Structure 1
């Protein structure tokens, strides 16, 4: 298998069940670099969070952050997709009025904002948003720099939360990014579009890309790659879509697959 770019989702994919990067990944990253193969995390997580998680990797490292609304290459943002303010205001109101227990995160490239202060919600949100500010009214932070709205629910995101948010944002891209998370972006934004943007910057063909994913927000990422791997723990729709199945994230499946492929390349 010839590949020149690897992109992987984080939660449920590269990260183990303790939400940490497996120790074996760092040796694999060295091997990728030795063979001139680019690597990029492709996550719903905030750019600042990803940069902290991969600080050990040094540079160069590309990033697909916030479900594809932010793409970074050579230390610069090469793609930024914003969402219109009217949609953001509608989502905030819908979440406040809903009987479903949910909390909203308004995301801008450099920071994210919440108006819900309870410990359980803050603990969940801070795992994904390192640069996170508490404000009294989310409506006041909405401007033309908002790239995403993330909604956390203690209920079932796919069954209980997503229908409410889709009704409030009918023209947006509403994706279920985890068991308890729904993300909303501009209709043009997704991980697949971001991957194509990064490929073009690197001069790499679609057939030379390899991706890993596990959840519904990875759908376009899987479709935009030459070869796609779903984790064994993936959502059924992602398992059905993928070209190959990797061991679960708990078994460091991304590391295992890459180790095997890199040994074949030698």
Structure 2
């Protein structure tokens, strides 16, 4: 019996133009009628996720910032933060990368120094709450994640991810898309957050469904039985998934949920 459905956002739940599926409200009512919980699990900040689900802000359990910040009813359930030494280390290395833009995410806000138009276009897709500052040394916040953006070339694997591999071990470097790389505390990921919540809520992995498309969804798919990689997912993720869902642009998540609910009757 399915009790919890978890979905990544970009390239997974969202269809064209950064929109929820047209039948999202209908499917959410079907889940509510069956007492099945739904959670967005994303690299997006909590404020951006809550903004995307205004009708459900008080209903959903939000797994934000790739599992480093988990909230429900607008309150933090738990979080993972970077030490001051690791914050300094990441900043030192990130600022050396040419043509790469840095977002520092804290609990209060996210912080940027650049206002390059190409960067802001990408930033505004995923961050609704950020502060423009003159220097990152001005931040007074608990830091949970860095997001590095290759807004100009769209080759994040080569221009960011590969170059920052020496940081792995002290921090965790995760490829989130062709444009974004996230840097988080070691061990923190969507999968760890889900396993912690499974224990807290007394929900078994075989009672959970998860959908994803990129490497930041890898551990998430390993934390549930019904693990779905989207048809448009990268090959590495398809290898760890038990099942394949139709692509996001064909409303794959909603179609698969409907099928699962029909089979569960």
In the TM superposition, what is the alpha-carbon distance from 1:135 to its structure 2 partner?
0.5
- What residue in structure 2 maps to residue 78 of structure 1? 77
Give, in whole Å, the separation in 2 of the partners of 1:69 and 1:157: 21
Shift of 1:33: 0.9
Give 1:23 deviation, angstroms: 1.3
Distance 1:169 1:104, change over 3 A: farther
2:196 counterpart residue number:
197
Contact 1:26 1:57 in 2 (8 A): no
Indicate the RMSD between aligned Cα atoms, in angstroms: 1.4
The CA deviation at 1:58 is 4.7
For 1:37 and 1:98, locate their aligned partners in 2 and report how far apart those are by CA, in whole Å. 44
1:88 Cα deviation (Å)?
A: 2.0
Q: Could you say which residue in structure 2 is the equivalent of 1:97?
A: 96
Offset at residue 98 of structure 1 (A): 2.3
Deviation at 1:261, TM superposition (A): 1.1
| Cα contact 1:71–1:198 (8 A) shared by 2 | no
User: Quick one: distance in 1 between partners of 2:56 and 2:3?
Assistant: 18
- The gaps in structure 2 that reach 5 residues or longer are none
1:119 equivalenced with 2:121 (yes/no)? no
Alignment of 1:25-44 (within 5 A): 25-44=24-43
Work out whether 1:258 is the aligned partner of 2:257: yes
In the alignment, what sits opposite 1:148? 145
Cα deviation 1:50-102 (Å, max 9, x = unaligned): 00111122532101000000112344211110011222222222232223x21
- Check conservation: 1:214, 1:233, Cα contact below 8 A: yes
Bigger shift: residues 77-86 or 164-173: 164-173
Equivalent pairs counted in the alignment come to 263
Alpha carbons 1:91, 1:165 under 8 Å: kept: no
SS at match of 2:104: strand
Partners in 2 of 1:96 and 1:52 — Cα distance?
30
TM-score, L = length of structure 2: 0.95
- Name the SS for the 1:220 alignment partner: helix
2: CA distance between counterparts of 1:52 and 1:74?
13
Question: What secondary structure is seen at the aligned counterpart in 1 of 2:199?
Answer: helix
Structural mapping, 1:186-225, within 5 Å: 186-225=185-224
CA–CA distance in structure 2, aligned partners of residues 142 and 123 of structure 1:
26
Cα shift at 1:207: 1.3
Could you list the per-position Cα deviations for residues 202-244 of structure 1 after superposition, in whole angstroms to 9, with x for gaps in the alignment?
2211111100000000000000112100000001001111110
Q: Deviations over 1:130-172 (max 9, x none)?
A: 10111111132165x1000110013311122112233346411
Kindly indicate whether residue 230 of structure 2 is the aligned counterpart of residue 236 of structure 1.
no
Structure 2 CA distance, aligned partners of 1:90 and 1:140? 16
CA–CA distance in 2 between the matches of 1:150 and 1:166? 15
SS in 2 for 1:122: helix
- The farther-off stretch of 150-159 and 27-36 is 150-159
For residue 18 of structure 2, give the secondary structure of its aligned residue in structure 1: coil
Q: Which residue of 2 aligns with 1:24?
A: 23
Report the Cα distance in structure 1 between the residues aligned to 2:30 and 2:57, rounded to whole angstroms.
Answer: 15
Corresponding residue for residue 135 of structure 1: 133
